[in-house]
Structure 1
Amino acid sequence: MAKGDTSGQITELERGHKYSIRVRLAPDDAHKSWHWSKSRKVIGNKAEATAQLVAYKQELDDTASGKNVTVSEYANAFQTNRKALGKVSPLTLERDRHEINLIAHYLGKNRVIDLDSAIIEKAYLKMVEHGGISPDGVHKVHMKLSQIMRKAYLEGLIERNPCDAVEGIRRPKPDQRKKQERRVTKEQAITFIQKLRNEEQDGRIIAVWLGVATGLRRGEALALVWDDIDLKKNMLHIRNQYGKERILKEPKTTRSRRTISIDIQTVEFLSSWKRKQQAMLKHAGLRQAGDTPVCSNELFEFIDPDDFSRWRRKFFVKEGLAHYAKEEKYVDRRGIERIRRTGYVGPNFHALRHAQATLLVAGGIDPKTVQARLGHESLNTTLGIYAEEVAENDVKAASYMGEILSPNGIA
C-alpha cells in the first residue's frame, strides 16, 4: 500500500506468502494524535492481505462506533451506569442481577446490532426447556431485556427495539389460591393485633405491630429511631429505610418520606415499649437517646432485615397466619431428634401493609388519604386495593340480594 495512504499499511514479511497489516486510526480518548492499530499477521498472497486489511479496518470502525458490543457487555454496562448514577436502589440492582445473568448466559455472545426477535425467542425456548425457567421468570427476563434494548435504541446503536417484535411473552395470571394464602384478611388482622398485645414486647414485635397498625414497609419500620416518633402529638415521621445493605438511607420514593398520625392504642403500645427499652438500656449501662432504634435487637442496634424475616416467618406460623409445606424429622450430630420445616406458605411482611390499607378502605377512608398514609407513589396502587374491596363487597351484596329474593325472604 502506498506510503502516503493513511488508511492502512501492508508489510511483506515473506515474499508472496506472509504479510503484516495495520490500520491508521484517528485521535481518540486514549490517543491525542493519529496512531497505528496493533499489527496482524496474514498468511496468503498480497490480494488476501489486502482483503484482510479492509476487513480489519471495518472491524475497528464497528468497535469504535459500538457496533461490536455484545449483549453481555452492553447489559453489564447498562447495570454499571445505573449503579453509578444512583438512579435505582442497591436492592433493585441486586434483584436485577438474576435477569442480567440469564440474559448474558443465553444471549450474551450476540452483538447488540444483530439481535432480532428470532434469536430472542430461541433463547427463551432454551431457558424453559434446558434451564427450567418458569413463564414468570421468562417474563421478567423479557422486561429487563426490553429495557436494556430501549436504551440501545435511544443511544442510536440500533434502529428499533427487537423485543417489540417478540410475541406471546406475558406475565402469567396470578394463582388465586397462592394469592389467597399470602393475604392477611381484615378479620385476621384484627385478631392478630389483639394477639400481639399478649406477646412479650421486643423490637421485632414492635415492627410487626407497626406493620399492621400503620402500614409501614419493613425497611421503614426497622429504620425508625425515637426522634421519629412524637408520642405527645401522636405523630410518626418516616424519614429513612433500613434494608439488606444494613445502612440507613432515603425512603423508596418522594411520597414515602411522610408524616402520619398514629392512633391512641399504638401510642400506648409504643410508650410501654419505650419505658421497657429504657430500663433494659439502663441495666446494660447505656442510655436511651433520640437516635436509638425503636425496633432494636438484643444489642439495641438496628435489626438485620434477613434475621427479622426468618423470625417473622416462624412467628406467623406460630400465630396461625402461615404454615410450612414440608416437615422432615432428622437426627443432628449430637443424636438429638429434630424437625426441619421447609416450604413456607403464607403472607410476608408486606401483606400487613396491604391489610392496613384494606382496613382503611373498609372504614370508608378516601383513596387520597390512604395513598398519603401508605406513601404510595401512584394513586393507581391505592385504587387497586379499593377495587379488591369493592369486588369482595359486591359478592356480599349479591348474597344479600339472594336472601331477599328467596321464597321466604328476610324476616
Structure 2
Amino acid sequence: MEIVGNGTIYEVKPGKVYRLRHCIGKDPVTGKYLKSPCKTVYCTKRQARDELAKYKQELIEQDELSRHPEKAPVPTVREYAERHLRLRATNKKLSENTLAHDRSDFAHVVKLFGDFPLDELTADIINARCSAYRLAEGKSLNVLNRITKSLKTLYRRAVMDGLIEYRLNPCLGIDIDKPEPSDRRSLTENEFKRLAAVVDSKTMEARVVAVKIGMATGMRKGEVLGLTWKSVDLDSCKISITQQYTQDRSLKGPKSRAGKRILSIDEGSARYLARWKKIQMVDLEMHGVRQSADTPVVSTSLGGYCDPRDFSKWFRDFCVENGFGTYKIIEEYRDGQGKYGGWRRTRKKGYEGLCFHELRHTQATLLIGSRCDIKTVQHRLGHADVQTTLNIYSHVIDANDEAAAETIAALQA
C-alpha cells in the first residue's frame, strides 16, 4: 500500500462530526485511485487534522500486518461471522427479530464458506458455490442475494479491521442475478366492495376489526395491532398513529418520522369501532379485565396485544375461506404426541392470495385512481418522501394521465 498525499477531511456537521479518508495508491488492473474506508470522528476541525494523521499511521500498520500474515493469523469466515454476530448482539438499537434474521442469513454463509480463511476466498468460489447451492437445494434468488449481502457486510468489516486489503476483497467480483421485483397487487374496486361486505357480515371480533381498520385507513399491520383506544377519537373520526407492534412482539415507534400521523375515518367506520368498543369491554370484563385507554383496539381475550404471526396465519385462513386466496397443499398428519400416533393436525403450504399489506396498496391505488392528490395519499400511507409514493404507484398515475388526455380531447371535439 502506498498512501498518497495527506488525506481528506469531509465535514459532516461543522465543528462536531468529520469523516477521514486517504488515497491508498492505484489499482494495478484499472489504474484508478483506491480510497481507504471512511473513518468517522466526533471532534473539532483541529482535532480532526490530528486524527487524520493517526489514521494514516493505522493504515500503514494494517498494511504491514497484511504483508506479514504470520504476525496476525487471518480468521476463517466462520470465526469472523461469529464475532460479527456477537458484536451485533450488543447493539441495543437492534430488535431480536433483526438479530434472528442476521443469524439465519449468516448460517447460510457459514454453511457455504465457513472453513475458508478470509484471505483465501475468491469471487469465483463464491459464484460457483452459490450457483450449486441454488441447484442442489432449490434456493431462490432472494436467498442467494441475502447470502451475498451478508458476505459483503463481513468483508467490508474485514477491510476496515485491516485483515485484508480492499483490492483483495472477493465480493467485488460477485456475479449473482438479482431477483425480479415482486408485483404490488391490489384489489379491484369490485373485489374491495366484496371484501367489505364479507367483513360487515362477520361476527365482531378483534381480528375482523383489524381488517376493517386496514381497509378504512391503509395502515400497516404493525400499526393496526399497536393501536390503542387513547389514539382513537370516535367523536371527530380521527385515528392517531404513534406506535406499532412488531414481529418480535414489542412496541416501537412508526417506521419513519412521517409515520406519526393523524388519519380521518368515515362515519360508518367510526360507528363500527364504537360498537366494537362496547363489545370488547363486555368480553374483557368476563375475563376479569378492565378496558382502559391503553387497551389495544385489536386485543386478545385478556386485553393484550395480538401476536403478529398468529394474526397473519388467521388472515390467510380468512382469505381462503372467503375466496381471496388458496393453499397449494393441505394435508393431515399426526403430531406423535400421546396414544395412537398423536393428535390429528392440518398442515397448510403454498399460500397464494391476498395479504394484509395489500389492503394498503389497494387504498392507495383506489385513491389515486379517483383523482385524489398525491400529497394526501403520501400522508395517509405515512411515506417520508412523496417520491416513494410516486415510484410505487406510477402505473396508476400513468393511467390517470391517459384519462386526462382523453378528457382534453373530448373538450376540444
Pair 1:214–1:83, CA change in 2 (3 A)? farther
Aligned to 2:295: 292
Tell me, in whole angstroms, the C-alpha distance in 1 between the residues paired with 2:345 and 2:106: 39
- Paired residues of 2:237 and 2:267 also in contact (CA < 8 A): yes
Aligned to 2:193: 190
- Structure label with greater radius of gyration: 1
Tell me, in whole angstroms, the C-alpha distance in 2 between the residues paired with 1:199 and 1:268: 16
Letter in 1 for 2:251: L
Which deviates the most, 250-259 or 304-313? Answer: 250-259
Aligned to 2:28: none
Gaps of 5+ in 2: 1-67
Please list, as runs of the form range in 1=range in 2, the aligned pairs for 1:6-405 lying within 5 A after superposition. 61-63=71-73, 68-160=74-166, 161-167=169-175, 169-174=176-181, 179=183, 183-328=186-331, 341-390=348-397
Which deviates the most, 289-298 or 334-343? Answer: 334-343
Pair 1:164–1:190, CA change in 2 (3 A)? farther
State the shift of 1:130 in Å: 3.1
State the shift of 1:291 in Å: 1.0
Structure 1 length as normaliser, TM-score? 0.72
State the shift of 1:207 in Å: 1.0
Pair 1:330–1:131, CA change in 2 (3 A)? closer
Letter in 2 for 1:206: V
- Paired residues of 2:239 and 2:265 also in contact (CA < 8 A): yes
Tell me, in whole angstroms, the C-alpha distance in 1 between the residues paired with 2:133 and 2:272: 51
Letter in 1 for 2:122: D
Pair 1:363–1:153, CA change in 2 (3 A)? farther
Pair 1:79–1:347, CA change in 2 (3 A)? farther
Tell me, in whole angstroms, the C-alpha distance in 2 between the residues paired with 1:217 and 1:89: 18
Letter in 1 for 2:273: L
- Paired residues of 1:316 and 1:322 also in contact (CA < 8 A): yes
Tell me, in whole angstroms, the C-alpha distance in 2 between the residues paired with 1:343 and 1:129: 20
Tell me, in whole angstroms, the C-alpha distance in 2 between the residues paired with 1:134 and 1:118: 20
Tell me, in whole angstroms, the C-alpha distance in 1 between the residues paired with 2:396 and 2:257: 27
Tell me, in whole angstroms, the C-alpha distance in 2 between the residues paired with 1:255 and 1:237: 12
- Paired residues of 1:202 and 1:296 also in contact (CA < 8 A): no
Deviations 1:266-322 (A, max 9, x none): 212211111111222334443210111110122222112222122111101122111
State the shift of 1:198 in Å: 1.6
Tell me, in whole angstroms, the C-alpha distance in 1 between the residues paired with 2:118 and 2:287: 60
- Paired residues of 1:183 and 1:346 also in contact (CA < 8 A): no
Letter in 2 for 1:375: G
Tell me, in whole angstroms, the C-alpha distance in 1 between the residues paired with 2:291 and 2:155: 52
State the shift of 1:386 in Å: 2.1
Letter in 2 for 1:166: I
Pair 1:82–1:321, CA change in 2 (3 A)? same
Structure 2 length as normaliser, TM-score? 0.71
- Paired residues of 1:358 and 1:389 also in contact (CA < 8 A): yes
Gaps of 5+ in 1: 1-57, 405-411
Aligned positions, number: 337
Tell me, in whole angstroms, the C-alpha distance in 2 between the residues paired with 1:335 and 1:83: 39
- Paired residues of 1:186 and 1:358 also in contact (CA < 8 A): no
Letter in 2 for 1:349: F
Identity value in percent: 36
Pair 1:156–1:383, CA change in 2 (3 A)? farther
Deviations 1:331-351 (A, max 9, x none): 996999997643211122111
Which deviates the most, 337-346 or 221-230? Answer: 337-346
- Paired residues of 1:237 and 1:260 also in contact (CA < 8 A): yes
Letter in 2 for 1:261: S
Aligned to 1:38: none
Q: Could you say what secondary structure the match of 1:73 adopts?
A: helix
Pair 1:59–1:339, CA change in 2 (3 A)? closer
- Paired residues of 2:369 and 2:397 also in contact (CA < 8 A): no
State the shift of 1:126 in Å: 3.0
Deviations 1:339-392 (A, max 9, x none): 764321112211111112212222323333322222224444312332131355
Deviations 1:142-183 (A, max 9, x none): 22222332333344443324322222x2323257xxx48x64
- Paired residues of 1:127 and 1:133 also in contact (CA < 8 A): yes
Q: Could you say what secondary structure the match of 1:114 adopts?
A: coil
Which deviates the most, 284-293 or 363-372? Answer: 363-372
Tell me, in whole angstroms, the C-alpha distance in 1 between the residues paired with 2:190 and 2:86: 46
Q: Could you say what secondary structure the match of 2:239 adopts?
A: strand
Q: Could you say what secondary structure the match of 1:130 adopts?
A: helix
Tell me, in whole angstroms, the C-alpha distance in 2 between the residues paired with 1:329 and 1:131: 25
